Amino acid sequence: MSENENKYQIPAWLKELQENSWNLELLISGGAIFTLFQLEDIFVDFMMRLKMTAHLPGTGIFIILGMLALKMLTLGFLSHLLLRTYWLGLLCVNYVFPKGVSNKVKSYPNPYRNKYGEGKSLQDEIHRVDNISGLVMYISVLTTMVILGFVILTTVILSVPSLLADLPDWYFSLTIWLIMIYHFDLFLFGLFRRIPYLSYITFPIFWLFDRLSLRVFYDSSLALFSSNVSKLKTFIGMLVVILIGVIFTYNAIYKVMHWPYLLDSREHRWSMASNEQWIYPSFYRDSPENENEKIYGPSIQSDIINENYIDLIVPYDVDFDDNLTDDQYLEEDVLIFIDDSLYQVEWFNYRPKENDQLGMKSVIGIDHLNSGKHDLVVRSLANEEMEQKIPFWKN
């Protein structure tokens, strides 16, 4: 045996580990699926807090990409779990019928393929499913690392610099184009890196991006992977997997992002009542949907008020900072109307256990109001577009 062949021979311990790793893979996949489902709500809640408390550009994009990464991992581990389960079933069938397909099995006539043959076993199918299981696991983890790397790269060279200085428009345009070119090169298996002379131009940029986007951690395995598979089939497969991930991501966050539900074919969903005013559960803290939820906008105790007062809470959103100077109070920018009448209210600092949910609280007397429907409006003095109308009914 030559020195080169001996170098790449699989050691006995590694071969045994590969052949007996399926039980550990099943355990990891099952645990990962359960954990990832829990992480989705935690991630969305964290990003909504970040959006409320920090002037960090691109939080909407981060929500989309972060959820896409979680969905890609979930789909990968779920597919791997199903494939491994099918693989175990094949092992059981192969154990029951070790001699393969019986001669009594009739092959299908043309134009169907002849799948059965004398003495044929299931070992080829078992080996094929085993290989697919490994590829599914690798591609899922790789895709998630690419998305995570994109978020880190964008944060470091776009979001953070924009917080520290007033960057010119050309910087954003140039950086976005460079990021797009860098990821096109990634999905095209390093095409721009292999073009002579162009490589001298792309090297300093790609060298920096490789380290910021975590590519240095998976570049070697990606190079080996892309050298031993059909690039076209792999590219098409990746597009299909990403498309499925995008669909599941959209279904998970369309409410948070206030997007329309594309699969809803009801023609009158935006014109159900002649009254154009909408009522959202987030307006009322006694709504079942708000149980144990954080407060992200102005809210009152209920839609039907049985008391002679309104308990109003206005969370402190970072957007208020654009309307105030350093020596102003938040209450100076908040106007309160009930049925077009301006109310002078007394504000108190409001700080629950969650510090990022701090804001202002006021108790407004309404004993003079008649029974029936009324509208409470919370409006910014400096920016009239920052307004929320909350309908309520006095009992």
pLDDT at 347: 94
- Banded model confidence at residue 270, pLDDT cuts 50, 70, 90: confident
The answer to which of 22-36, 99-113, 313-327 has the lowest mean pLDDT is: 99-113
* DSSP SS3 for 180: helix
Residues 248 and 69: beta-carbon distance below 8 Å:
no
**What angle is formed at CA 332 by the lines to CA 327 and CA 334, rounded to 5 degrees?**
140
Check whether residue 144 and residue 99 sit in a common domain: yes
Residue type, 297: G
Is residue 114 included in any domain, yes or no?
Answer: yes
348 in the same domain as 241 = no
309 and 383 co-located in one domain: yes
- For residues 178-182, give the mean pLDDT: 90
Q: Is the pLDDT of residue 300 over 70?
A: yes
Q: Is the pLDDT of residue 1 over 60?
A: no
For residue 116, name the pLDDT band (cuts at 50, 70, 90): low
User: 238 and 348, same structural domain?
Assistant: no
pLDDT (0 to 100) of residue 292: 60
Tokens 């079942």: give the residue: 288
Q: Write down the pLDDT at residue 362.
A: 93
Q: How far apart are CA 361 and CA 185, in angstroms?
A: 53
Q: Are 314 and 331 in contact (CB under 8 A)?
A: no
Greater confidence (235 vs 104) lies with: 235
Rounded to an integer, what distance in angstroms lies between the CA atom of residue 139 and that of residue 73?
A: 9
Amino acid occupying residue 272? M
Give the model's confidence band at 320: pLDDT under 50 very low, under 70 low, under 90 confident, else very high. confident
Task: Provide the CATH number for the domain around residue 326.
Answer: 2.60.40
Question: Is there a single domain that holds both residue 24 and residue 142?
Answer: yes
- pLDDT tens for 70-94 read 888 888 888 888 888 888 888 888 7
Which tokens in the block code for residue 367? 């004993």
Whole-number Å distance between alpha carbons of 260 and 244 = 19
Q: What is the pTM of this model?
A: 0.67
Rounded-to-integer distance, Cα 338 and Cα 120, Å: 81
Q: Is residue 264 part of a domain?
A: no
Residue 179 lies in a domain: no
How far is it, in rounded angstroms, from Cα 351 to Cα 61? 29
Q: Count Cα neighbours of 88 within 13 Å in the Cβ-side half-sphere.
A: 11
DSSP 168: -
Q: Does residue 37 sit in the same domain as residue 134?
A: yes
For residue 123, is pLDDT > 60? yes
CA distance 175 to 34: 38
pLDDT for 34 equals 83
pLDDT surpassing 60 at residue 279: yes
- Classify residue 272 as exposed, middle or buried by CB count within 10 Å of its CB (0-12, 13-18, 19+): exposed
Q: Are 127 and 77 within one domain?
A: yes
Lowest-confidence pick of 3-7, 45-49, 350-354: 3-7
CA 24 – CA 18 distance, rounded (Å): 11
Closest by alpha carbon to 152, among 68, 65, 212? 212
Query: Is the pLDDT score of 393 beyond 80?
Result: yes
**How many domains does one find in the chain?**
2
Residue 152 located in a structural domain: yes
Domain range spanning residue 61?
A: 8-167+230-253
Q: Per-residue pLDDT for 57 more than 70?
A: no
